Amino acid sequence: MESDSRLEDLRSVLSCVFEKLGAESLTEPDRVELVARAEVVQDQIDAIQDVVGDEERVRMRATSVSEPSGDRLF
């Protein structure tokens, strides 16, 4: 799936950003920029996961078959 590959790429980027944030020689302006990048990447990850979650719910509804109820009113 394309979204799985994109998610993996974004998680890799986020991991690299966090690794750089842990560097002791990082200046404050660089730290601010990296935090901003991390937030953007996390937002993209969340958006993809929301879409994938919505697709899963639709797929589950489409494949579920309602069983006839033994309790009929008429």
Q: How far apart are CA 51 and CA 49, in angstroms?
A: 5
With 0.75 as the threshold, say if the pTM is over it: no
Percent of the chain with pLDDT over 70: 78
Quick: pLDDT tens for 58-73. Answer: 767 766 655 555 565 5
Sequence-distant (≥ 6) Cβ neighbours of residue 34 within 8 angstroms:
17, 20, 21, 26
Alpha helices in 1-74 (DSSP H): 2-21, 28-63
Q: What band does 24 get if pLDDT is binned at 50, 70 and 90?
A: confident
Q: What angle do CA 61, 65, 69 make, to 5 degrees?
A: 125
Q: How far apart are CA 74 and CA 72, in angstroms?
A: 6
